[in-house]
């Protein structure tokens, strides 16, 4: 569900024509629908209305301050994976006692920043990290609230690059070792065990792996309860998939049924870390056709957005629909939609069935709200795209397009 629809033959974001924004800000740009974000958040949290829960939005999916502020106002917490994300979350007004810190490689200064800020808990991924937390908390005269991120060894049936809960992945603590490490943690100074956590991957399109993972997590939680540990939070991570093309992911309500079934009734607080499902279909990338180029092999549509703007197609061979902003009757072709970057993997769509397009016309790359701008770079010295937010009839630039000066910010010539 999203608010990018044609009115007549012209694509709109809510009540604003995409073309009007392009005329004002230039291309390429990311375009977000505020009402879509709000709706997705509400549908997700309402699916768990009957249980005590906290939705910690996964900041890495889309970390624009405008997005974070909107979610903060709705009462969301944040799942962060770096000091930079903590900075953003706090800047956007997300309450520190709703922030969980995940990630396999937390550095000392990041841990210190999170302890100073008073976050809800650290999702700990190794014994080395536990020791670091204990050492730093001691140094600060404080105590680190922790959950262990357990790797349940469940196949999420998603792209291997975004699968995180199988035993060959770098993430989490093997479920078989978790109990003994919990027992160690409980005895450590300046560590307070408060939760149990898992996150098995991203873009999951069936519920079964979630059920399997949470069942394993709950077995561990009963062991911990038996050992007298006061587990207050059960964090089941994120990963619920969205529709890019032909997928049929579970609805949030179906996902909730699976999770609640696996949890089987508890007085603990459930924590969720959704990213993609909140923002993925709430954003598009708008780009302009520079050239049509036809070879013996292929139709290439060369556009002004590239892999530096949107890397999902190149990195994960991900499918995202590309459609013209103005819908007219025309011939259907099969084309590669490619950018100007000097890499053969620089494509936004490959062998894509779509209408033939004209040079200069606007295209929309759909479902670009998650892992779009947040994964973008300046590769090929391309200033990063602008980000625009729409609500109803209004639009605002929520991040300026970068300038050439931004490209060299902080650089200087060597005087050695």
Ligand X SMILES: *Cc1c(COP(=O)(O)O)cnc(C)c1O
Residues 6 or more apart in contact with residue 166 via CB below 8 angstroms: 151, 153, 154, 155, 156, 200
Which among 16-24, 113-121, 212-220, 270-278 is the span making contact with ligand X, rule CB under 6 A? Answer: 270-278
> Which CB, 102 or 281, lies closer to ligand X?
102
The alpha-helical segments, DSSP class H, found in 298-349 are 312-316
Nearer to ligand X, 53 or 60 (CB): 60
User: What does the longest C-alpha to C-alpha distance in the chain come to?
Assistant: 70
C-alpha closest to that of 388 among 375, 374, 398: 398
Q: How far is the CB of 118 from ligand X (least distance, A)?
A: 20
Q: How far apart are CA 281 and CA 30, in angstroms?
A: 12
Cβ at position 57, least distance to ligand X in Å: 9
Q: Least distance (Å) from ligand X to the CB of residue 72?
A: 17
Considering beta carbons, is residue 86 or 341 the nearer one to ligand X? 86
Q: Which is nearer to ligand X, 76 or 277 (CB)?
A: 277
Residue 127: its H or E element: helix 127-139
Q: Smallest distance from the beta carbon of 5 to ligand X, in angstroms?
A: 24
16, 183, 309, 407 from 382: Cα distances, Å: 27, 51, 9, 8
Among the listed ranges 216-224, 225-233, 269-277, 320-328, the one in contact with ligand X (CB under 6 A) is 269-277
Q: Judged by CB under 6 A, does residue 28 bind ligand X?
A: no
Binding mask 223-262 for ligand X (x = CB under 6 A): --------------xxxx----------------------
Q: Is the CB of residue 367 less than 8 Å from the CB of residue 378? A: no
3-class DSSP assignment, residue 388: strand
Instruction: Return d(Cα 176, Cα 413) in angstroms, integer.
Output: 53
- 79 interacts with ligand X by CB under 6 A: yes
Q: Which of 63, 202, 258, 320 binds ligand X (CB under 6 A)?
A: 202
- State in angstroms the smallest separation of the CB of 152 from ligand X: 13
**Interface with ligand X in residues 94-133 (CB under 6 A):** 102
CB of 227 closer than 8 Å to CB of 178: no
Minimum Å gap between C-beta 159 and ligand X is: 11
Instruction: Using the minimum distance from each CB to ligand X, give the nearer residue, 63 or 102.
Output: 102
Q: How far apart are CA 8 and CA 154, in angstroms?
A: 46
> Where are the strands (E) in 313-367, listed by range?
322-324, 332-338, 347-355, 362-365
In the shown chain, the binding pattern of residues 277 to 296 toward ligand X, with x for contact by CB under 6 A and - for none, equals: x-------------------
Q: Can 342 be counted among the known catalytic residues?
A: yes
| Residue 93, number of CB atoms within 10 A of its CB | 12
Interface positions, 300-359, toward ligand X (CB under 6 A) = none
Name the region of 264 (left: φ>0; alpha: ψ -120 to 50; beta: rest): left
Site for ligand X in 37-76 (CB under 6 A): 58, 60-61
The tokens of 223 are what?
């062991």
Using the rule CB under 6 A, give the single segment among 22-30, 196-204, 257-265, 353-361 that binds ligand X: 196-204
Residues marked as catalytic: 342
Residues that bind ligand X (CB under 6 A): 58, 60-61, 79, 81, 102, 199, 202-203, 237-240, 273-277, 370
């Amino acid at each position: 569900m999203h608010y990018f629809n044609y009115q007549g033959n012209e694509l709109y974001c809510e009540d604003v024509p995409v073309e009007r924004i392009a005329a004002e800000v230039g291309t390429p740009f990311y375009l977000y629908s505020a009402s879509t974000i709000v709706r997705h958040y509400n549908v997700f949290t309402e699916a768990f209305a009957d249980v005590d829960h906290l939705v910690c939005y996964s900041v890495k999916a889309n970390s624009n301050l405008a997005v974070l502020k909107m979610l903060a106002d709705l009462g969301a917490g944040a799942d962060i994976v770096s000091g930079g994300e903590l900075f953003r979350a706090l800047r956007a007004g997300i309450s520190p006692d709703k922030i969980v810190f995940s990630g396999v490689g937390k550095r000392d200064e990041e841990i210190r920043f999170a302890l100073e800020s008073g976050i809800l808990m650290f999702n700990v991924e190794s014994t080395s990290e536990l020791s670091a937390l204990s050492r730093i908390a001691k140094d600060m005269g404080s105590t680190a609230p922790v959950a262990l991120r357990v790797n349940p060894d469940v196949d999420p049936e998603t792209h291997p690059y975004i699968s995180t809960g199988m035993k060959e992945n770098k993430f989490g603590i093997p479920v078989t070792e978790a109990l003994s490490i919990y027992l160690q943690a409980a005895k450590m100074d300046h560590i307070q065990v408060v939760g149990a956590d898992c996150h098995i991957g991203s873009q999951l399109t069936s519920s079964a792996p979630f059920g399997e993972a949470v069942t394993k997590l709950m077995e561990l939680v009963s062991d911990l309860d038996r050992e007298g540990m006061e587990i207050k939070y059960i964090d089941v991570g994120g990963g619920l998939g969205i529709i890019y093309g032909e997928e049929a992911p579970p609805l949030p309500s179906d996902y909730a049924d699976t999770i609640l079934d696996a949890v089987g009734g508890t007085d603990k607080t459930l924590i969720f870390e959704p990213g993609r499902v909140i923002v993925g279909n709430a954003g598009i990338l708008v780009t302009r056709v520079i050239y049509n180029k036809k070879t013996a092999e292929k139709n290439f549509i060369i556009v002004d957005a590239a892999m530096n703007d949107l890397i999902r197609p190149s990195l994960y061979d991900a499918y995202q629909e590309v459609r013209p902003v103005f819908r007219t009757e025309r011939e259907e072709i099969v084309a590669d939609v490619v950018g100007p970057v000097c890499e053969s993997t620089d494509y936004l769509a490959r062998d894509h069935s779509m209408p033939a397009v004209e040079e200069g016309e606007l295209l929309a790359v759909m479902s670009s709200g998650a892992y779009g701008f947040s994964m973008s770079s300046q590769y090929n010295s391309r200033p990063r795209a602008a980000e625009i937010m729409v609500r109803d009839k209004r639009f605002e630039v929520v991040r300026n397009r970068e300038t050439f000066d931004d490209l060299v910010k902080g650089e200087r010539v060597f005087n050695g």
